[in-house]
Amino acid sequence: MLLNIFKSKIHKAVITQGDLNYEGSLTVDENLLEAAGILIHEKVQVVNINNGNRFETYTIKGERGSGVIGLNGAAARLGLPGDRVIIIAYAQMTEEEAKNFTPKVVIVDEKNNIISKQ
């Protein structure tokens, strides 16, 4: 049996842009994706701390070092620039794998600069 386990997250990122007319997805600074071990096109859950909205989408690469966190398509209606979000990725693993697994946690400041990695 496979379990869905918390794999990694980018904690308290700030939404920097929204594009309602884009096809969909979440734009994330490539540095943040790499630090959290989240792949381009990987399914993620986004939790908006400001308004409580939670949704799933996939990531697309944002400009490295830009600090971009962009809600695109319908997701642009679920948060505004300045809102804080948690971007969470999950992985399927066996119970045995899960017992020995440590998730990656990337904490960012108000400009989406990495301030700590666990």
Q: With 0-12 CB in 10 A as exposed, 13-18 as middle and 19+ as buried, what is 88? A: buried
Evaluate if pTM is beyond 0.85.
yes
Contact 46/86 with Cβ under 8 angstroms? Answer: yes
Nearest to 2 by CA among 102, 96, 92, 98: 92
Catalytic residue among 8, 58, 90, 116: 58
For residues 2-16, give the mean pLDDT. Answer: 98
Per-chain mean pLDDT for the chain:
97
Q: With 0-12 CB in 10 A as exposed, 13-18 as middle and 19+ as buried, what is 102? A: exposed
Q: With 0-12 CB in 10 A as exposed, 13-18 as middle and 19+ as buried, what is 19? A: middle
pLDDT reported for residue 80: 97
pLDDT reported for residue 48: 98
pLDDT reported for residue 1: 95
pLDDT in tens, 50-80: 999 999 999 999 999 999 999 999 999 999 9
Where in the chain are the domains? 3-117
Percent above pLDDT 70 for the chain: 100
Nearest to 8 by CA among 97, 100, 106: 106
Is the pLDDT at 82 greater than 80? The verdict is yes
**Can 58 be counted among the known catalytic residues?**
yes
Is the pLDDT at 37 greater than 90? The verdict is yes
Is the pLDDT at 24 greater than 90? The verdict is no
Question: May I ask the CATH class of domain 3-117?
Answer: mainly beta
Catalytic residue among 22, 25, 66, 116: 25
pLDDT reported for residue 106: 98
pLDDT reported for residue 23: 78
For residues 86-94, give the mean pLDDT. Answer: 98
Contact 109/97 with Cβ under 8 angstroms? Answer: no
